[in-house]
């Protein structure tokens, strides 16, 4: 099931043109994607959209480690 979820999520991101958006933001800050995601999740001023992107990045890291 998770594979289908990921394929659908990636297809949506490709359609919107947002593939790698969060990673680019992390690189701009000089952090890894996971470090940036954790920092965003702690920031109370971060928007809901960015917090969701951060949670998605954290979840993808967990899935990547399982393989």
Torsion of Cα atoms, 45 then 34 then 22 then 5, to 10°: -110
| CA–CA distance, 54 with 59 (Å, rounded to integer) | 9
Q: How many H-runs (helices) and E-runs (strands) does the chain carry?
A: 4, 0
Q: What is the pLDDT of residues 7-59, one digit of tens each?
A: 888 788 888 887 888 888 889 999 999 999 999 999 999 999 999 999 988 98
Q: Is the pTM of this model over 0.85?
A: no
Model confidence at 2, pLDDT cuts 50, 70, 90, reads: low
Cα 36 versus chain centre, distance? 9
């Amino acid at each position: 099931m998770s594979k289908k979820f990921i394929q659908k999520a990636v297809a949506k991101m490709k359609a919107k043109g947002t593939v790698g958006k969060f990673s680019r933001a992390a690189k701009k800050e000089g952090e890894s994607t996971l470090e940036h995601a954790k920092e965003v999740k702690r920031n109370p001023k971060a928007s809901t959209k960015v917090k969701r992107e951060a949670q998605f990045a954290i979840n993808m890291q967990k899935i990547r480690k399982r393989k």
